[in-house]
Amino acid sequence: MSHFYLPGPWPKPGVDISDEMILDVKLAHHLRVRRIDSGETFQVFDGKGLTANACLVAMDKKTAVVRLSEISENRRTETKSPITLAQGMASSDKMDWLIEKSVELGISSVIPLHTERSVVRLDGERAAKKAIHWEGILVAASEQSGRTVIPQLAPVQNLPLWLASLNPHDQALRIMLSPRADQAMLSVLKRCTPQALTLLIGPEGGLSESEEEQAKRAGFIPVSMGQRILRTETAGIVALAAIHTIWNQF
């Protein structure tokens, strides 16, 4: 069954629905592209864990009208131990790909970071436009992968300021990929029970030694992914897959 994002507010689970909902232009367009006709039923989610069946009542060139039924909470596609990806800003295409694939792999939030070696730097209007673009990727990847909770997207931040803002009493495990690390990610994860985790990855060229020292002072454990140095867009995906495998969260 097709799976579409329909922003709330929705009625509470278990409440019978008699009112019809008018969809926005973008979602109505998706229905036309997927050739969904009046009377057909498809699945929708509110991005916060609720799902429902939606019956298409009517559709014209710009809008569509649906009626919801069987609203329920469904978080089975969500990772039990939330993972935050703190990613040094990579070039545009790489960043898009990384966000898309990390959503498919279950991250709960993504934090884009300006670092010393970031090639791309965003601020003001450019940052706002890029945030809208990334939000679209988050939604599309959530629809494609069957997720019911859309990951949170933080504003682009400078790495030192972000590190300084972290709560020192936060119990989340903090790990940082580094080719200079003297311990493997595998050994660190095996010593820990599944828990909230923040994964810090540098951009093309990696984090500088100074940045790694700052991260270590903020509680990040430097870990290695093995003998080979991976590209930034590869490292994050491999690391997320490894975390899920080691902690049996797939």
The rounded Cα 195 to chain-centroid distance in angstroms is 17
Contacts 24+ apart (CB under 8 A), 15-20: 15/71, 17/67, 17/68, 17/69, 17/71, 18/67, 19/67, 20/57, 20/65, 20/66, 20/67
Nearest to 85 by CA among 114, 116, 109: 109
pLDDT at 81 over 80: yes
Model pLDDT for residues 137-175, shown as the tens digit of each residue: 999 999 999 999 999 999 999 999 999 999 988 888 999
Burial per residue of 175-198, b for 16 or more beta-carbon CB atoms within 10 angstroms, e otherwise: bbbbbebeeebeebbeeeebeebb
pLDDT, average across residues 93-103: 94
pLDDT at 61 over 70: yes
Return the percentage of the chain with pLDDT > 90, whole number.
57
For 12, the token pair is 């509470």
Model pLDDT for residues 7-25, shown as the tens digit of each residue: 878 877 866 566 677 777 7
Give the pLDDT score at 15: 64
- CA-angle at 152, arms to 90 and 131, nearest 5°: 50
Model pLDDT for residues 180-202, shown as the tens digit of each residue: 899 999 999 999 999 999 999 99
pLDDT, average across residues 84-109: 93
Q: What average pLDDT does the structure give for the chain?
A: 89
Model pLDDT for residues 23-54, shown as the tens digit of each residue: 777 778 878 777 888 888 888 999 999 999 88
pLDDT at 60 over 90: no
Model pLDDT for residues 205-232, shown as the tens digit of each residue: 899 999 999 999 999 999 998 888 889 9
Give the pLDDT score at 160: 96
Give the pLDDT score at 54: 87
> Collapsing DSSP states into helix, strand and coil, what is residue 42?
strand
Do 49 and 9 touch, CB atoms closer than 8 A? Answer: no
Give the pLDDT score at 34: 79
Query: Does residue 9 have a cis bond before it (omega within 30 degrees)?
Result: yes
